[in-house]
Structure 1
Amino acid sequence: MTATLPPAICSSRSNCAPRVELLTNGAIVIAEQIPIDAVNLNVWLGVGSAIETDDINGMAHFLEHMVFKGTAQLQPGEFDRRVEARGAVMNAATSQDYTHYFITTAPQDFAQLVPLQLDVVCNASIPDAEFERERLVVREEIRRSEDNPTRRTYARAMETCFPGLPYRRPILGPDAVIAGLVPDQMRAFHKRHYCPAAMTVAAVGNLPEQELIDIVTAGFDCVAPASGDRVRHILPDLEPPFTEIVRHEYTDPQLQQARLVMLWRAPGLQDLDNTYALDVLAAILGQGKSSRLFRDLREERQLALSISAYNATNKFQGSFYISARLETDRITATEAALTDHVMRLQSELVSDAELARIRTQVANRFIFSSEKPSELANLYGYYYSQLGDIAPALNYAERVRRIEATDVRAAARQYLSPTAYGIVVARPPAG
């Protein structure tokens, strides 16, 4: 079955809609030819830390490491050597809502490397000895993460924002959990979640679309038929908006300047239409040297050493947050200034000139980050694996350009309360 989206919804390239095909094994293949002499393969699964239970928190990320440790056909390290021998590059990433594996290669090598990539992803053998060796690597990664003050502050912020949702948990998992996992648990996790019917495979580069699809289809010949289905998350009970100021303050002995994170709960991908105005709002407040918070709090009043704002969109629920690095004696004044900026956004319309500049900035940033085969394959795989639709990857810039000043004000009023928010403050030791 093939379903191709109409070119009219694509805002940044003409006639750019890729082909979307459902294979007989249940995998989705998204293929697009672009005139860049490389091809990227991106294998996406809707499997991340959010689907884990507390007792296996970190399994998805640990499995990402173990996927490269061999199959019945490939010895540990052989996949890496064969990829590198052709000058290709590969990697993987795990988040709360997904895991994906990607490889970029020359077009003439694509047909040789696709079966290898699908073999390691689908047929990972997870050898006991490799499991124990890689456990040490993952535990060291956890220790490095916990030793990073910025990551510690962010972790506290997510715990504040999502006390009930799994987004509160670390993607890497706690060290104690990783220390207790056994290979059979991971093999069962892999068998449950890594079947072709749960995969979105994006292939983008300088080969005809039908050839890309045929190569991916043939690549699955190495995968034994498996039961299973695309991961279907049940919509969880979302966190309600903050009804008061929830404040968490602590001393971090590694800090020399304080960290402040002010945050609100925001819509997720399941409520996609309400995320665009918040993306624009974040850019107005704290993205770039011409943003309001940078000019006011850093340049003019010199309250913050650095400051930025983001709208982070998870599958089910996101977070809008402002992050600042500052001296301890300026925390109170900075918090007050931030609430003043929120109140201004709620009471005043953004000027036409400022809105036009920000819309262009946000739209162009997206367009400029989706020119390479790897970037496009990332976008297609991300949106389809999360939403079952690639239209948002094609029309994002156009949706942003349609945001009006009234939309920005409405978003500020609905999601950013100046009297109800979460705030995490990390202070350096006194004296």
Structure 2
Amino acid sequence: MNVNHWSLPNGATCVVADIEQSTLTCIDFWCKGGSLYEMKDEEGMAHFLEHMIFKGSKNLKEGEFDLKVESLGGSSNAATGLDDVHYHVLVPPEKTEEGLKLILELLLFPRIEKDAFEMEKEVVLEEIAQNIEQPDEIIYMKLLKECLTPHRYSKPILGDKNTVKSINPKQMKLFHKNHYVGKNCTLCVAGDLPSEIYSIINNSKLKELKTISKETAIRYKANFKKGYKKETIPRLEGVRILKAWELPPAEEQILILGAEIAATILCEGKSSIIVKELREKKRIIESIDIDLQILEKGGLILLDVSCSEENLKIAEIEINNILKELSKDLVTNKDLERAKKLVINNIYFSLELSTQIASTLGNQALWGRHQAILKSIDDISYWTTSRLNELIFPLFNPENAFTLIAEPEKLI
């Protein structure tokens, strides 16, 4: 796979990955326009804008984009995150130029007309209403609120019904104008590419992105708070123990790789330390999962344990004991090698499709991390048990966590 990066005069970053004989080509557009960049009373703007972008542009009527992409034999999707937002089109290789024209027309020149705006606002409000009824979402948002307030990361990407209700088309057009600009945007095309791909991109409407007049304000680093709290959650089945720890910012790629190895040692597979000891052997937990939320201004390590109410106290004690013992030679070289193999496999599995490759390269380029797509596999060798003991296992110390105990609401 041949990967090349370059920038346009307006600051937009371009990446192409030529994957010979790939059956589909992915055109992935990234923007530093996630919910992190919303101002006070704008909560939900970035996600709402994602909806409105698909409602038509200067030269595309509502629904016309989807019909034209489908006529090419393609599909499209989008996602809004805390840091960024991205939109992709998946098309047969011979339709790359047409697919690029369509997605850029949609993204750069959205209409945001009042009638469509008010109709889509109701769709977004319904999405919020459904989301806040889900026990998992309630728990997750309570945890973020406790450990990250007042940072923007502590608030839901969807916003809340009051802030979304107050947003108007003029505000949204201004948000688009301020954030969808040259230096904030990256285009990545991955697949079996036409020989003239560089000319196609350089002469596309991407060059019409305005040059940013001032840098987007750099938001302050997330300030993590440790603590302990119990909550009763409606419709929750069973008891949950959730722990959150501070994870270094996304730019600290080596440390994040070390955290991924540690998480795998602890929780991935029947022979992982916590699963083997507490689920398979002692049978005091039902499930356990660790997720790394990798974010630009400082992320989170999230541990989620399910157990019965009668096992809550003992499960909490046992988990804390294991975490305290991590840096005291609890982890063997055999544990480390098993985890490394699993992490390497996960990296390969995450890069099997053109969509996955475009997403990875696009995100890296957006945030200035121009590196070989498989660099993390080379970096695996850096991690030894002694380095994990020194640099990573202290991150998992239960004394540095925010712990949320979620219990079902008792019916009278």
TM over 0.5: yes
Q: How does 1:12-411 map to 2 (within 5 A)?
A: 16-35=1-20, 36-208=22-194, 211-220=196-205, 224=208, 226-228=210-212, 232-234=216-218, 236-239=220-223, 242=226, 246-348=227-329, 350-386=331-367, 388-391=368-371, 393-411=373-391
Using the TM superposition, give the Cα deviation of residue 119 of structure 1 relative to its aligned residue in structure 2, in angstroms.
Answer: 0.8
Q: Deviations over 1:134-167 (max 9, x none)?
A: 1111111111111111111111111122123211
Contact (CA 8 Å) 1:159, 1:168: kept in 2 or not? Answer: yes
Percent identical: 27
Pair 1:353–1:224, CA change in 2 (3 A): closer
Taking the aligned partners of 1:298 and 1:72, their CA distance within structure 2 comes to: 57
Residue identity opposite 1:259 in structure 2? R
Using the TM superposition, give the Cα deviation of residue 324 of structure 1 relative to its aligned residue in structure 2, in angstroms.
Answer: 1.2
Contact (CA 8 Å) 1:162, 1:239: kept in 2 or not? Answer: yes
Using the TM superposition, give the Cα deviation of residue 283 of structure 1 relative to its aligned residue in structure 2, in angstroms.
Answer: 0.8
Taking the aligned partners of 1:288 and 1:349, their CA distance within structure 2 comes to: 17
Tell me if 1:423 matches 2:403. yes
Pair 1:280–1:414, CA change in 2 (3 A): same
Residue identity opposite 1:324 in structure 2? V
Q: Deviations over 1:114-135 (max 9, x none)?
A: 1110011110111111111111
Using the TM superposition, give the Cα deviation of residue 337 of structure 1 relative to its aligned residue in structure 2, in angstroms.
Answer: 1.1
Residue identity opposite 2:116 in structure 1? E
* Structure 1 ranges of 4+ moved more than 6 A: none
Residue identity opposite 2:259 in structure 1? L
SS state at 1:70 partner: coil
SS state at 2:262 partner: helix
Taking the aligned partners of 1:83 and 1:168, their CA distance within structure 2 comes to: 36
SS state at 2:399 partner: coil
Contact (CA 8 Å) 1:369, 1:375: kept in 2 or not? Answer: yes
Contact (CA 8 Å) 2:255, 2:392: kept in 1 or not? Answer: no
Contact (CA 8 Å) 1:286, 1:322: kept in 2 or not? Answer: no
Pair 1:240–1:263, CA change in 2 (3 A): closer
Contact (CA 8 Å) 1:199, 1:230: kept in 2 or not? Answer: no
State the number of aligned residues: 410
CA RMSD for the aligned pairs?
1.9
Taking the aligned partners of 1:218 and 1:176, their CA distance within structure 2 comes to: 42
Residue identity opposite 1:104 in structure 2? L
SS state at 1:311 partner: strand
SS state at 1:321 partner: strand
Taking the aligned partners of 2:331 and 2:159, their CA distance within structure 1 comes to: 42
SS state at 1:53 partner: coil
Contact (CA 8 Å) 1:122, 1:194: kept in 2 or not? Answer: yes
Contact (CA 8 Å) 1:161, 1:319: kept in 2 or not? Answer: no
Taking the aligned partners of 1:228 and 1:107, their CA distance within structure 2 comes to: 32
Residue identity opposite 2:387 in structure 1? D
Taking the aligned partners of 1:271 and 1:82, their CA distance within structure 2 comes to: 41
Taking the aligned partners of 1:413 and 1:250, their CA distance within structure 2 comes to: 28
- For structure 1, the residue ranges without an aligned partner over 5 or more in a row are 1-15
Taking the aligned partners of 2:398 and 2:167, their CA distance within structure 1 comes to: 44
SS state at 1:393 partner: coil
Contact (CA 8 Å) 1:122, 1:196: kept in 2 or not? Answer: no
Pair 1:380–1:233, CA change in 2 (3 A): farther
Q: Deviations over 1:300-332 (max 9, x none)?
A: 222222111122211111111210122122221
- For structure 2, the residue ranges without an aligned partner over 5 or more in a row are none
Normalised to the residue count of structure 1, the TM-score between the two structures is: 0.90
